[in-house]
Amino acid sequence: MPKISIVIPVYNAEKYLAGCLDSLLGQTFQDFEVICVDDGSGDKSQAILQQYRLKDNRFKVFAQENKGQADARNAGLDHVTGEYVLFLDSDDTLPDYALALLLEVAEKTSAPIVASRKWLKFPKNKHHFIRPIIHRNTFEDFVKDVRVFSAAWNKLYRADILKTHRFVRGICFEDWPFLTTLFSQVDFYVAINTPCYIYNKMDYSTIRSPFSQKKVDGYVTGIWYVYNFFKDRPTLPLAQKRLAVAAKMLINKVYKSKDKALIQNLFVELDKIFKEGVIRKNQLPVKTRFRLWRMRHM
């Protein structure tokens, strides 16, 4: 049994995939397996994955029809055999000490989740390890810390907490519902300031590509999923703070798109959200409420 299972969803990543996988081969800690799920790529990604599988039996390759990143990650989780899990996107990399440091902190603190910072590029100066911070007000701290709740990939998870926990299928921006529900179910987590993930800001990424109806639907589905998870729980008020952040991001992105069809559909969905009490309009920032007013009068 490997110590760490690394789950990588792959979709048309031939330009960066080798660099991603090579960063794993260069880790100072080597007791891991790599679970790659090709999500219907139409480029040479599958061929690259097979090359690594043939030269190193720690690389396991699975393929599926294109279903999206959430489904690919879920498929990867179904094949995990390690004690810990780490998510890595196929165009990103890890610094060579990442697995060793995350595991050391996890084992010393018995933390179910260890979260790190990220780099947008390789550092010029030598990194400095900073003392881990243990968060025992787990969900409250999680909601406040944008560095922690923003992405699934800058964290090491104890595998047992993911046995039945999965990403919402078929949506964009699947990370935040996954993390919001997961962090509400653990006793504590640990955060370290040392960057253990190198994020490659690509133009074709979900975040940077043009906003669309599919993305609106992804945000809305995530909002309802999280609300339904918490609506009968005492932690609903905290969850609503996170829901308000998601709604703010959705509104701001539609506002910037200036797409009249998206704006019309946005108000249909928001009217349902406000009517049901998922969040209140006054929980949104003043600037966001002003943008709502402007869109109403476009």
Distance CA 147, CA 158 (A): 19
Distance CA 105, CA 115 (A): 10
Q: For residue 194, what pLDDT is reported?
A: 86
CA–chain centroid gap for 293, Å, is: 31
Alpha helix stretches (DSSP H) within 87-212: 98-109, 138-144, 146-149, 175-183
Cβ–Cβ contacts within 10 Å for residue 122, how many?
8
Backbone angles phi, psi at 86, to 5 degrees: -135, 135
CA–chain centroid gap for 284, Å, is: 23
Question: pLDDT tens digit string along 246-272?
Answer: 999 999 999 999 999 999 999 999 999
Helix (H, G, I), strand (E, B) or coil at 213: helix
Residue with tokens 């393929």, as numbered in its chain: 63
Phi-psi region at 274: left, alpha or beta (left = phi > 0; alpha = psi -120 to 50)? alpha
CB 118 within 8 A of CB 199: yes
Domains of the chain: 4-198 (3.90.550.10), 213-296 (no CATH)
List of long-range contacts for 264-271, beta carbons under 8 Å, 24+ apart = 265/213, 265/216, 266/216, 266/295, 267/295, 267/296, 269/216, 269/220
Q: Give this prediction's pTM.
A: 0.93
Residue with tokens 């992405």, as numbered in its chain: 151
Backbone angles phi, psi at 75, to 5 degrees: -60, -40
Q: For residue 98, what pLDDT is reported?
A: 94
- Bridge pairing between strands 155-158 and 84-87: antiparallel
Q: At what angle do helices 213-230 and 236-257 cross, to 10 degrees?
A: 170
Question: pLDDT tens digit string along 105-157?
Answer: 999 999 999 999 776 555 544 455 567 889 999 999 999 887 686 799 999 99
List of E strands, the chain: 4-10, 32-39, 59-64, 84-87, 113-119, 133-135, 155-158, 189-198
Distance CA 7, CA 90 (A): 10
Query: In the chain, what are the helix, strand and coil shares in percent, each to the nearest 5?
Result: 45, 15, 40
| Residues in the chain with pLDDT values less than 50 | 124-126, 203-204
